Structure 1
Amino acid sequence: MPALCRDCLHHAAEAFARCPRCASRRVVAHPDLFRLGVAHVDCDAFYASVEKRDRPELLTKPVIVGGGRRGVVAACCYLARTRGVKSAMPMFKALAACPDAVVIRPDMAKYAAEGRRIRTLMEALTPLVQPLSIDEAVLDLAGTEALHGAPPAVVLARFALAVEREVGVTVSIGLAANRLMAKLAAERDKPRGFAVIGAAEAAAWLAPQPVSVLPGVGPAMAKRLQAAGFSTLGQLAALGPEEAARRFGEDGPGLAARARGEDSRPVRPEREVKSVSAETTFEADLSAREALEAPLWRLCEKLARRLAEKNLAAAGVTLKLKTAAFATRTRAVRLAQPTRLPDVIFAAARPLLEREADGTAFRLIGIGAQPLAPASEADRGDLADPEAPRRAARWQAVEALRAKFGEAAVVRGRGLRK
């Protein structure tokens, strides 16, 4: 069985438990180790790891990256996770579970810069790198052995060491025959892991797993499947296409196929963006419509800026509200024509907000653009709205002034903080 030392990169066709060259026990062995080429790379507790790298005195302390007591956990280190802290957990619950945690406000610019450094190292391995988030990507290294003089497994182990040495954080790697199984493999051995799942063993490995393990199966879907008598992936995998469609609609056959470990998605260097959004959590609950409109306007401006950065436009608008009891409300509307203007986005979202502002106390508000359209289709104007191009020009002028003199150079009255 082929084996690889992840510390000195010694590899051989015969398995070894301890590296004969450096005596390390960080060894990975698998029959398909040198034949597989699809990898899922996920940084370990990325935001918290970057903060610990920059502040060595925090290395042995639980660290939470997040907002104030009313915010949520953006990330946490593994020590904090052992205390019960999880990503997206409300901060007050996280601090109750881990009162001695060091809380650090997110520095997204710093994390994005470090993510780009890691992405550059990935792109030196293969042109087929598909980013999934700031700290996660899938790579296809099939056919690169001649280029690197080593099979993909060795190249990936070398990459992991380079990230630790040059960036100062660790990564976990999953190696498999397709994207789905590579992602699941990456989650098996965190942190600083390297797991392999071969095509022949995928279905058997998945069979006893709960349905919630499958990416895309959230809590609501898992309950629906369990209510229908499907608690394990093996039960789902046994469904034929017709039966799966009858029970779960048009998504049923694909769901059953994924439960068997089947995934035909290619690795695409350009990830399709399906939505763009912005949201904020209030320091104190808000219920009055007038009080909610000011942060909504500021978010509309932020959303317009993000659309411009991605060269996209909003063809629809989605309003998100979270109540004081953590119940989420989402309301959506399609636009007559795509836009990148905060005024148009706000005008579409305002009636949605009016209907929801019924005295309920809200802790969070968000605005999103979905579906998306190319920027070239935005704000072109027509007989019903001939002023759209002029409004677009005014907004571009405002953004140019802000870029030169700062965000406070031009502020609309409705966005002023009270």
Structure 2
Amino acid sequence: MPSLCRDCARPAEDDRSVCPHCGSGRMLSHPELFDLSIAHIDCDAFYASVEKRDNPGLRDLPVIVGHPGGRGVVTTACYVARKFGPRSAMPMFKALALCPDAVVIPPDMAKYKKVSAAIRALFAKATPLIEPVSLDEAYLDLSDGVRLIDRTPAVLLVRLARAIERDVGVNVSVGLSYNKSLAKLASDRDKPRGFAVIGRAEARHVLSELPVTAIHGIGKATARRMAEAGITRVEQLQSLPEAALVARFGKFGRALSHLVQGDDPRQIVADRPCKSVSTETTFSRDLSALPPLAKALEVLAFALEKRLKRAGLAGETVVLKLKTADFQSLSRQSRLSYPTQRADVLREHAMHLLEREADGRAFRLIGIGVDHLAPAESADPPDLFGARRFG
């Protein structure tokens, strides 16, 4: 079985537990190791890792990145903190109850973007086909004819992981497979500083042992519908014919029938365009009355207008986001007849949505955004409003 040292990046002819070249015990072995070319790279506890890099005194401490105070949520918890229970998106008060000794650091997005750009620059030395998912993760196509360096993808990925640790100062986990969904699944298997491989021969079996939520596209609502039908494991979906999945889940059922068998036709798309723009705020105390909610929405609408103008974009669907006092998230949409950047138009449509939801419930967060983006030139036709406004 082919093997590869994750420290010196040199291959071995057979399955070894210790590298014959450098003596490292970090060996990677897999029958298809040198035959796969689709990768997913995910930074480990990214924001917290950057903060620990910049302050070595935090290295062994539990660090939580997020806005301090009872109203915030955890953005990232380092692996030391995770041992006590804090997780991303957890309410801060709950995280601190689980880990009262945690060091809480407010997020510094400008710094994280610079670190992300440095990592992206290293990716670009290996391949031009990079599909960012967020600041801390991306898909890479390292196929023949695409990659820029004449090395096998597995060797390139080991070298990339080492270069990111050495030059940027954060750790990553790598997933290698033959499609995107399996590469993503692999990168989650061995964190932190992981490198996992899922090959063609084992994909169906690996998937069969997982909960349905491991499949790309199955969110909470779909998982609930499946659970109501007694379906909780991927192996149950694998046993259903495509026609049955289409009958149950509509158009998604056709894609689902392939995903559960290990087939994912999605290509890696470089520089994927932005799909939405939004802004939100968390209140210092829960709000239930319409007037203060409306005032907060008005402020956010003007902030969204500025963000759209800076980006040269407009949106054709207004999205209202609310989070209740018990952390239930709500999203409501209103489709416009034209794309807009205007705060007054955004506010008006979002207000109609808010009025339906402001029924006395207490809300801890409100947000406004736009989907179905279009170039700014197509926004707010003058024949509808008279002369265009210039900000």
- What interval of TM-score do these two structures reach, taking the shorter chain for normalisation? over 0.9
Could you tell me whether the CA contact under 8 Å between 1:126 and 1:144 is conserved in 2? no
Could you tell me whether the CA contact under 8 Å between 1:39 and 1:176 is conserved in 2? yes
Q: Match of 1:194, as an amino acid? A: F
Offset, 1:144: 5.4
Written as runs of structure 1 = structure 2, the 5 A alignment for 1:17-416 is: 17-67=17-67, 68-143=69-144, 147-382=148-383, 384-387=384-387, 389=388, 391=389, 393=390, 395=391
| 3-state SS of paired residue (1:148) | coil
Moved over 6 A (4+): none
| 3-state SS of paired residue (2:20) | coil
Distance 1:385 1:126 in 2: 47
Q: Match of 1:31, as an amino acid? A: P
Distance 2:311 2:257 in 1: 35
| Aligned residue pair count | 390
| 3-state SS of paired residue (1:153) | helix
| 3-state SS of paired residue (1:371) | strand
Could you tell me whether the CA contact under 8 Å between 2:175 and 2:184 is conserved in 1? yes
Any idea what the Cα deviations from partners look like across 1:203-238, whole Å, max 9, x if unmatched? 111112111222332233222212223221111112
Could you tell me whether the CA contact under 8 Å between 2:141 and 2:147 is conserved in 1? no
Distance 2:214 2:205 in 1: 14
Offset, 1:91: 0.7
Could you tell me whether the CA contact under 8 Å between 1:233 and 1:260 is conserved in 2? no
Evaluate the alpha carbon distance shift between residue 126 and residue 296 of structure 1 in structure 2; reply closer, same or farther with a 3 A threshold: same
Any idea what the Cα deviations from partners look like across 1:284-321, whole Å, max 9, x if unmatched? 11223232233222322332233334432110111111
The percent of aligned pairs where both chains have the same amino acid is 53
Distance 1:310 1:120 in 2: 23
Distance 1:60 1:251 in 2: 45
Structure 1 stretch displaced more, 349-358 or 223-232: 349-358
Corresponding residue for residue 16 of structure 2: 16
Could you tell me whether the CA contact under 8 Å between 1:44 and 1:190 is conserved in 2? yes
Offset, 1:146: 8.1
| 3-state SS of paired residue (2:201) | helix
Structure 1 stretch displaced more, 90-99 or 237-246: 237-246
| 3-state SS of paired residue (1:368) | strand
Offset, 1:84: 0.9
Distance 2:201 2:169 in 1: 36
Could you tell me whether the CA contact under 8 Å between 1:170 and 1:191 is conserved in 2? yes
Distance 1:385 1:309 in 2: 22
Could you tell me whether the CA contact under 8 Å between 1:300 and 1:342 is conserved in 2? yes
Q: Match of 2:196, as an amino acid? A: A
Could you tell me whether the CA contact under 8 Å between 1:112 and 1:134 is conserved in 2? yes
The gaps in structure 1 that reach 5 residues or longer are 396-418
Offset, 1:254: 1.1
Any idea what the Cα deviations from partners look like across 1:312-333, whole Å, max 9, x if unmatched? 2110111111122223332221
Distance 2:146 2:375 in 1: 38
Evaluate the alpha carbon distance shift between residue 333 and residue 27 of structure 1 in structure 2; reply closer, same or farther with a 3 A threshold: same
Could you tell me whether the CA contact under 8 Å between 2:66 and 2:72 is conserved in 1? yes
| 3-state SS of paired residue (1:124) | helix
Structure 1 stretch displaced more, 356-365 or 115-124: 356-365
Evaluate the alpha carbon distance shift between residue 309 and residue 18 of structure 1 in structure 2; reply closer, same or farther with a 3 A threshold: farther
State the TM-score, normalizing by the size of structure 2.
0.95
RMSD: 1.7
| 3-state SS of paired residue (1:8) | coil
Could you tell me whether the CA contact under 8 Å between 2:12 and 2:20 is conserved in 1? no
State the TM-score, normalizing by the size of structure 1.
0.89
Distance 2:63 2:252 in 1: 40
Distance 1:110 1:246 in 2: 48
Structure 1 stretch displaced more, 184-193 or 280-289: 280-289
Q: Match of 2:92, as an amino acid? A: M
Distance 1:304 1:8 in 2: 51
| 3-state SS of paired residue (1:370) | strand
Q: Match of 1:39, as an amino acid? A: A
Offset, 1:343: 2.5
Q: Match of 1:231, as an amino acid? A: T
Structure 1 stretch displaced more, 366-375 or 291-300: 291-300
Distance 1:257 1:307 in 2: 37
Offset, 1:145: 8.7
Could you tell me whether the CA contact under 8 Å between 1:319 and 1:368 is conserved in 2? yes
Distance 2:323 2:267 in 1: 36
Distance 1:145 1:264 in 2: 18
